[in-house]
């Protein structure tokens, strides 16, 4: 399925007559209406698909030529662009309206759930954040779930908590903003499970992120384990257990007065563990099945 999907898009992409970059289309940017060529969301997803497919081919030791072709095509796809309002462009053409408050933020797929844009690309990171500011905080339930995750990825725990609080309020308190029914089902309205899943995902993203690969770690990448990346002031003290991180780790975290007390990381395989706390990173030694307890300063 992964290979077939990638194969389809090798044919679906075509050169843009102006930029000569590969673009998808005809397509659209959900739910902003109208058929266009090259919406940003398409390109973010296709880049991610090609990367995943080529990595899978190398891990399995197959389709080397196809993997190389996907890597080549990936560099030719139209890139994310910053527009006239300092925003991440939703389309090839710089036509975003900063007063558009639509609940969809499709061009931010590359921030969450994707990883096309991360804190490693400060200019694009800020532009994507500006786009989310333009769209505002009001939304239906599922969109608030998405925005909670996005603000967590932007490392803004207080804003993520604000959206989460709006999502968790009883339906009817804010017109047109969804909320929860008495049984805690997300009220779009009507019911949408996206809001419930989005809320739990957002909480996890506020406490632990692992979507940024360690630089140069290929073809089987390991990922930066980012502890308490978006801890809101409303949660000064607490603990969490059983979180799963990329690179095959199980993570427990304890914090007090907004500071890490200890993190317990249990890897599934041997290898280095790159841990990030605030703006600082360190590398710990991990052995399969053995717990690594870290207090933010040294490997114990």
- Give tens-digit pLDDT for 199-253: 999 999 999 999 999 986 566 789 999 999 999 999 999 999 999 999 899 999 9
Q: So what's the pLDDT on residue 190?
A: 83
Task: Please state which CATH number belongs to domain 210-294.
Answer: 2.60.40.1180
Mean pLDDT over 132-138 rounds to 95
pLDDT confidence bin for 295, thresholds 50/70/90? very high
Nearest to 265 by CA among 234, 231, 223: 223
Which helix H or strand E contains 282, and what residues bound it?
strand 280-286
Give the pair of three-digit tokens for residue 163: 């959206």
Q: So what's the pLDDT on residue 187?
A: 86
Mean pLDDT, rounded, of the chain: 93
Mean pLDDT over 65-69 rounds to 97
pLDDT confidence bin for 133, thresholds 50/70/90? very high
pLDDT confidence bin for 298, thresholds 50/70/90? low
- Report the 10 Å Cβ neighbour count for 285: 12
Cα 240 to Cα 296: distance, rounded to the nearest angstrom: 16
CA distances from 188 to 104, 140, 176 (A): 13, 5, 9
More confident residue, 6 or 176: 6
Cα 267 to Cα 18: distance, rounded to the nearest angstrom: 48
Cα 240 to Cα 4: distance, rounded to the nearest angstrom: 39
Q: So what's the pLDDT on residue 300?
A: 43
pLDDT of residue 33 exceeding 90, the answer is: no
Share of the chain above pLDDT 70, in %: 96
- Look at strands 225-227 and 238-245 and give their pairing: unpaired
DSSP state of 122: H
Cα 18 to Cα 92: distance, rounded to the nearest angstrom: 11
Mean pLDDT over 108-128 rounds to 97
pLDDT confidence bin for 165, thresholds 50/70/90? very high
Q: So what's the pLDDT on residue 86?
A: 98
Mean pLDDT over 51-72 rounds to 95
Alpha-carbon dihedral of residues 267, 271, 274, 275, nearest 10 degrees?
30
Cα 141 to Cα 176: distance, rounded to the nearest angstrom: 9
pLDDT confidence bin for 192, thresholds 50/70/90? confident
Q: Are 256 and 295 in contact (CB under 8 A)?
A: no
Q: So what's the pLDDT on residue 231?
A: 98
Q: Helices 40-60 and 2-12: crossing angle, nearest 10°?
A: 130
* Window from 121-130, 189-198, 237-246 with minimum mean pLDDT: 189-198
């Amino acid at each position: 399925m992964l290979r077939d999907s990638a194969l389809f898009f090798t044919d679906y992409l075509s050169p843009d007559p102006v930029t000569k970059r590969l673009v998808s289309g005809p397509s659209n940017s959900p739910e902003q209406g109208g058929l266009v060529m090259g919406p940003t969301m398409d390109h973010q997803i296709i880049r991610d698909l090609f990367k995943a497919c080529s990595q899978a081919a190398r891990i399995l030791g197959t389709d080397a030529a196809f993997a190389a072709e996907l890597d080549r095509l990936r560099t030719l796809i139209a890139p994310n662009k910053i527009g006239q309002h300092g925003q991440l462009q939703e389309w090839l053409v710089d036509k975003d309206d900063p007063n558009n408050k639509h609940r969809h933020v499709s061009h931010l797929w590359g921030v969450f759930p994707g990883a096309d844009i991360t804190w490693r690309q400060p200019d694009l990171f800020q532009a994507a954040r500006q786009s989310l500011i333009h769209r505002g905080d009001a939304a239906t339930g599922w969109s608030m779930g998405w925005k909670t995750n996005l603000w967590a990825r932007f490392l803004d725990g207080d804003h993520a908590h604000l959206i989460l609080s709006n999502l968790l309020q009883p339906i009817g308190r804010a017109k047109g903003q969804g909320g929860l029914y008495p049984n805690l089902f997300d009220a779009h309205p009507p019911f949408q499970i996206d809001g419930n899943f989005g809320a739990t995902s957002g909480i996890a993203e506020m406490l632990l992120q692992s979507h940024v690969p360690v630089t140069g770690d290929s073809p089987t990448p390991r990922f930066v384990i980012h502890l308490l990346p978006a801890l809101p002031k409303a949660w000064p003290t607490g603990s969490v257990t059983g979180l799963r991180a990329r690179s095959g780790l199980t993570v427990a975290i304890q914090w007090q007065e907004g500071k890490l007390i200890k993190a317990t990381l249990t890897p599934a395989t041997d290898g280095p563990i790159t841990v990030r706390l605030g703006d600082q990173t360190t590398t710990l030694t991990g052995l399969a099945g053995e717990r690594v307890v870290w207090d933010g300063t040294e490997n114990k």
